[in-house]
């Protein structure tokens, strides 16, 4: 692309991680007498004051149930909630706000699609295609569906570096495939999948694609129209927003044709004991009082990320990833699992002779929070023939000094467990 | 190394985790059971040679963390020669030690060397690591051939230590 004809982007201040850290109150606390080094961002992220303050202000000034009352507070709350939907639309560049369904999180987003689109479109002898990289939440809903329908779950294998085998994916896409489910970024290994290419291959066979964006949404710019995926779902709590809120994006024509998910209030336009008419999009999929304040907090987190710029967040985390990869690789006996060409800032590793659980306990006493275990991705662990790994996952507020602290902590672990 | 970490990883525990005793298959075992902790993926198999009601020999195999490996190793040393009842009483005493609960009243064997696990009570998330081999032993003693899981077997919810 020629840059000569493009208007200059608005000037953005250089990435000032120390200033950003001050936005997160929890980062100033100490753990076991040491400064907190929080490297478990793939599990969940901390919340900036802007998000916490917005939620508090909403409850203090504008809170009421939505889409129900004629009174002022209900009108205000409904407007703020729908503004949050518009914010989410813009965040993933969806065409219309009615393509944004608020859900509890990625897990509910996937279950919604499996239980509505899946139940309507997958039948006996059909196939559902997923990859060997998936989180349990992108495996189990499809297993449940396949069991109910007598369909078959097919798995696209990964290679030694933890990358989806595109050649195998092409072979496994068949005339029986009804849907393909794939993660944008792997939570266990950090692999960034070529989703645009995968969608194009699937669409060439007429197969719709659902993308698990839980790890991608906080880390890289997401454009659902550029990806051309049919469904994209992600969680608020992994992107600096409160727990219990997430987004399912779906193309409007798919949502129109899908049966509803849960029945209840707000998802109907009229109810008699003989017949219920469902509400228009997206309300058809939002039965009951939703997590109103959660959506407001999510929009605040999107504003926060937008002000920094997702390109800037990505560049910062890329820097941390290369620094951490170099620093940890230099430690004798340490093996990094997942060495994909395209990776997000997740480093899964094992230490010779030391169980990940013991790594986690020793690091914890140094104030360093990492995840240890199978990361809800047991098939990935099985592939690498390990019961578990330790995983450091970075966020927008982490620093190179924290990578150094991690490396020093690992050396302490080795000292303790030296044979 | 901070002193409180040394309370958990005492020298004896580190020694047993690096050089576990009775860590071998037992082809002529007449009882065995597999223990599984789905939270960390640890699996351990406990083999027994039961002579009537008495543990004539015991061994274990598997992959686990330092705490569960040391716990299994020291358990096998301790319960060899005990009756089923004595082994189960010792487990109750051991569980009370690491959860900080009141020790069971009445007789039964003393903890002796197993006292080194007292530091575990300050690490509630590690309690299941220490009890996994004991749950597995109990399943083997009772002839339950199936896998016992720390998340399914009796006890663990109360073992979370409440912290």
Domain CATH code at residue A133: 3.40.640.10
**Per-residue confidence at A12, pLDDT binned at 50, 70, 90?**
low
Burial of B107 (0-12, 13-18, 19+ CB in 10 A): exposed
- Backbone phi and psi for residue B67, each to the nearest 5 degrees, phi listed first: -65, -45
Closest C-alpha among A397, A391, A367, A372 to residue A305: A397
Number of domains in chain A: 2
**Per-residue confidence at B106, pLDDT binned at 50, 70, 90?**
confident
B2, B4, B40 ranked by CB distance to A357: nearest = B40
Whether residue A30 is found in the same domain as residue A63:
no
- Cβ(A358)–Cβ(B71) under 8 Å? no
Lowest mean pLDDT among A141-150, A169-178, A386-395, B41-50: B41-50
Q: Which residues contact A308 (CB under 8 A, 6 or more apart)?
A: A15, A20, A396
Give the pLDDT confidence score for residue A221 in this predicted structure.
98
**Per-residue confidence at A6, pLDDT binned at 50, 70, 90?**
low
pLDDT over 90, % of chain B: 73
Distance CA A261, CA A114 (A): 10
pLDDT tens track for A275-303:
899 999 999 999 999 999 999 999 999 99
A374, A388, A419 ranked by CB distance to B18: nearest = A419
Q: Does B63 touch chain A (CB under 8 A)?
A: yes
Measured in angstroms, the CA of B16 and the nearest CA of chain A are apart by 11
Last residue of a domain, one of A307, A342, A374: A307
A347 within some domain: yes
Classify the C-alpha dihedral A345-A350-A351-A354 as positive or negative.
positive
Which of A43, A355, A356, A382 to mutate to test binding with chain B, by most B CBs within 10 Å of its CB?
A355
Whether residue A291 is found in the same domain as residue A410:
no
**Per-residue confidence at B40, pLDDT binned at 50, 70, 90?**
confident
Q: Does B163 touch chain A (CB under 8 A)?
A: no
A8 within some domain: no
- Backbone phi and psi for residue A171, each to the nearest 5 degrees, phi listed first: -70, -35
Distance CA A121, CA A130 (A): 16
Domain CATH code at residue A384: 3.90.1150.10
Distance CA A324, CA A50 (A): 29
A1 within some domain: no
Show which residues of A are catalytic: 376
Whether residue A136 is found in the same domain as residue A196:
yes
Whether residue A96 is found in the same domain as residue A152:
yes
A222 within some domain: yes
Q: Which of residues 67-106 of B touch A (CB under 8 A)?
A: 67, 69
Residue B105 pLDDT greater than 70, yes or no: yes
From B123, which residue of chain A is nearest by alpha-carbon distance? A361
Whether residue A171 is found in the same domain as residue A244:
yes
List, in sequence order, every residue forming a beta bridge with A231; answer none if it has no partner: A210, A250
Omega before residue B62 within 30° of 0, cis: no
Pairing assessment for the beta strands A127-131 and A152-156 based on DSSP bridges: parallel
Whether residue A249 is found in the same domain as residue A343:
no
Classify the C-alpha dihedral A271-A274-A280-A286 as positive or negative.
positive
User: Token pair for residue B3?
Assistant: 């002193």
CB pairs under 8 A between A and B: 58
Whether residue A31 is found in the same domain as residue A163:
no
A7 within some domain: no
User: Token pair for residue A341?
Assistant: 């060409």
Task: Tell me how far the alpha carbon of residue A384 is from its chain's centroid.
Answer: 23
- Cβ(B44)–Cβ(B64) under 8 Å? yes
Residue A320 pLDDT greater than 90, yes or no: yes
**Burial readout B33-65 (b: 16 or more C-beta within 10 A, e: otherwise):** bbbbbebbbbbbbbbbbbeeeebebbbbbbebb
Query: A140 is in which domain, residue-wise?
Result: 52-307
Q: Which chain A residues have a beta carbon less than 8 Å from that of B65?
A: 355-358
Measured in angstroms, the CA of A415 and the nearest CA of chain B are apart by 9
User: Token pair for residue A132?
Assistant: 């060997």
In this structure, the number of other CB atoms found within 10 A of the CB of residue B102 comes to: 7
A388 within some domain: yes
Q: Which residues contact A259 (CB under 8 A, 6 or more apart)?
A: A116, A119, A120
A290 within some domain: yes
Whether residue A21 is found in the same domain as residue A162:
no
How large is the average pLDDT for residues B43-58?
Answer: 95
B5, B14, B42 ranked by CB distance to A365: nearest = B5
DSSP assignment, residue A150? T
Q: Does A414 touch chain B (CB under 8 A)?
A: no
**Per-residue confidence at B151, pLDDT binned at 50, 70, 90?**
low
A358, A381, A386 ranked by CB distance to B66: nearest = A358
Residue A336 pLDDT greater than 60, yes or no: yes
- Backbone phi and psi for residue A294, each to the nearest 5 degrees, phi listed first: -65, -45
Residue A313 pLDDT greater than 70, yes or no: yes
Distance CA A312, CA A220 (A): 9
Residue B62 pLDDT greater than 60, yes or no: yes
A355, A416, A419 ranked by CB distance to B64: nearest = A355
From B3, which residue of chain A is nearest by alpha-carbon distance? A365
Whether residue A255 is found in the same domain as residue A345:
no
Residue A339 pLDDT greater than 80, yes or no: yes
Higher pLDDT, B1 or A100: A100
Q: Does A387 touch chain B (CB under 8 A)?
A: yes
From B10, which residue of chain A is nearest by alpha-carbon distance? A416
Residue B148 pLDDT greater than 80, yes or no: no
Distance CA A143, CA A132 (A): 14
Last residue of a domain, one of A288, A307, A326: A307
Give the pLDDT confidence score for residue A7 in this predicted structure.
61
Q: Please provide the average confidence, as pLDDT, over all residues in chain A.
A: 95
pLDDT tens track for A354-380:
999 999 999 999 999 999 998 899 999
Distance CA A248, CA A257 (A): 16
pLDDT tens track for A33-70:
999 999 999 999 999 999 999 999 999 999 999 988 89
pLDDT tens track for A258-271:
999 999 988 989 99
CA dihedral A24→A29→A35→A36, nearest 10 degrees, is: -60
pLDDT tens track for A197-227:
999 999 999 999 999 999 999 999 999 999 9
User: Token pair for residue B135?
Assistant: 């749950």
Last residue of a domain, one of A274, A307, A340: A307
- The pTM score is 0.92
Closest C-alpha among A395, A334, A405, A401 to residue A366: A405
List, in sequence order, every residue forming a beta bridge with A37; answer none if it has no partner: A368
Q: Does A355 touch chain B (CB under 8 A)?
A: yes
How large is the average pLDDT for residues B88-106?
Answer: 91
Q: Does B123 touch chain A (CB under 8 A)?
A: yes
Residue A3 pLDDT greater than 50, yes or no: no
Q: Which chain B residues have a beta carbon less than 8 Å from that of A354?
A: 66
Q: Please provide the average confidence, as pLDDT, over all residues in chain B.
A: 87
CB atoms A362 and B5 under 8 Å: yes
pLDDT over 90, % of chain A: 92
Q: Does A415 touch chain B (CB under 8 A)?
A: yes
Q: Does A13 touch chain B (CB under 8 A)?
A: no
**HSE toward the beta carbon, residue B21, CA cutoff 13 A:** 16
Whether residue A346 is found in the same domain as residue A375:
yes
Q: Which residue has the tokens 């002839």?
A: B143
A12 within some domain: no
How large is the average pLDDT for residues B123-137?
Answer: 94
**Per-residue confidence at B161, pLDDT binned at 50, 70, 90?**
very low
Residue A419 pLDDT greater than 90, yes or no: no
Burial of A26 (0-12, 13-18, 19+ CB in 10 A): exposed
Whether residue A396 is found in the same domain as residue A287:
no
Whether residue A258 is found in the same domain as residue A338:
no
Within B2-135, strands assigned E span 31-37, 42-51, 54-63
């Amino acid at each position: 692309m020629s840059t000569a004809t493009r208007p200059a982007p608005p000037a953005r201040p250089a990435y000032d991680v120390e200033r950003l850290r001050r936005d997160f109150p929890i980062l100033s606390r100490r753990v076991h007498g040491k400064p907190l080094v929080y490297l478990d961002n793939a599990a969940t992220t901390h919340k900036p004051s802007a998000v916490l303050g917005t939620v508090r202000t909403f409850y203090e000034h504008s809170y009421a149930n939505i889409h129900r009352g004629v009174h002022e507070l209900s009108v205000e709350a409904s407007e703020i909630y729908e503004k949050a939907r518009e914010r989410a639309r813009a965040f993933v560049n969806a065409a219309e706000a009615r393509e944004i369904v608020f859900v509890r999180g990625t897990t509910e987003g996937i279950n919604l699609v499996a239980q509505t689109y899946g139940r309507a479109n997958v039948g006996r002898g059909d196939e559902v295609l997923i990859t060997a990289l998936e989180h349990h939440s992108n495996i189990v809903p499809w297993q449940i569906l396949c069991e109910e329908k007598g369909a078959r779950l097919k798995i696209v294998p990964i290679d030694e570096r933890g990358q989806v085998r595109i050649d195998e994916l092409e072979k496994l896409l068949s005339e029986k495939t009804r849907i393909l489910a794939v993660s944008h970024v792997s939570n266990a290994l950090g692999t960034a999948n070529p989703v645009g290419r995968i969608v194009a291959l699937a669409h060439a066979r007429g197969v719709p694609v659902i993308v698990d964006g839980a790890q991608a949404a906080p880390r890289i710019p997401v454009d659902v129209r550029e990806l051309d995926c049919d469904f994209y779902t992600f969680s608020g709590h992994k992107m600096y927003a409160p727990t219990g809120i997430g987004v399912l994006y779906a193309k409007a024509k798919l949502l129109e044709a899908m049966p509803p998910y849960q029945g209840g209030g707000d998802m109907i336009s009229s109810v008699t004991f003989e017949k219920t008419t469902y509400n228009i999009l997206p309300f058809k999929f939002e039965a009951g009082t939703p997590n109103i304040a959660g959506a407001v907090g999510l929009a605040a987190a999107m504003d926060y990320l937008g002000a920094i710029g997702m390109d800037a967040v990505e560049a910062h985390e890329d820097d941390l990833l290369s620094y951490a990869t170099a620093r940890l690789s230099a430690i004798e006996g340490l093996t990094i699992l997942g060495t994909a060409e395209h990776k997000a800032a997740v480093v899964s590793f094992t230490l010779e002779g030391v169980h990940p659980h013991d790594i986690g306990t020793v690091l914890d006493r140094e104030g360093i929070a990492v995840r240890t275990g199978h990361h809800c991705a047991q098939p990935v662990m099985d592939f690498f023939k390990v019961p578990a790994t330790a995983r450091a996952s970075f966020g927008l507020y982490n620093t190179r000094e924290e990578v150094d602290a991690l490396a020093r902590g690992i050396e302490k672990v080795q000292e303790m467990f030296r044979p | 190394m901070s002193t409180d970490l040394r309370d958990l990883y005492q020298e004896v525990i580190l020694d047993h985790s690096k050089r576990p005793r009775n860590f071998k298959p037992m082809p002529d075992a007449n009882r065995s059971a597999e223990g599984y902790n789905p939270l960390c993926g640890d699996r351990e198999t406990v083999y027994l040679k039961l002579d009537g009601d008495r543990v004539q020999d015991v061994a274990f195999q598997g992959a686990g963390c330092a705490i569960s490996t040391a716990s299994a190793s020291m358990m096998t040393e301790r319960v060899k020669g005990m009756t089923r009842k004595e082994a189960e009483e010792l487990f109750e005493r051991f569980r009370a030690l690491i959860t900080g609960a009141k020790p069971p009243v009445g007789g039964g064997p003393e903890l002796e060397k197993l006292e080194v696990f007292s530091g575990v009570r300050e690490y509630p998330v590690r309690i299941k690591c220490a009890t996994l081999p004991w749950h597995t032993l109990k399943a083997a003693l009772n002839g339950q051939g199936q896998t016992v899981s720390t998340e399914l077997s009796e006890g663990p919810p109360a073992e979370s230590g409440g912290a």
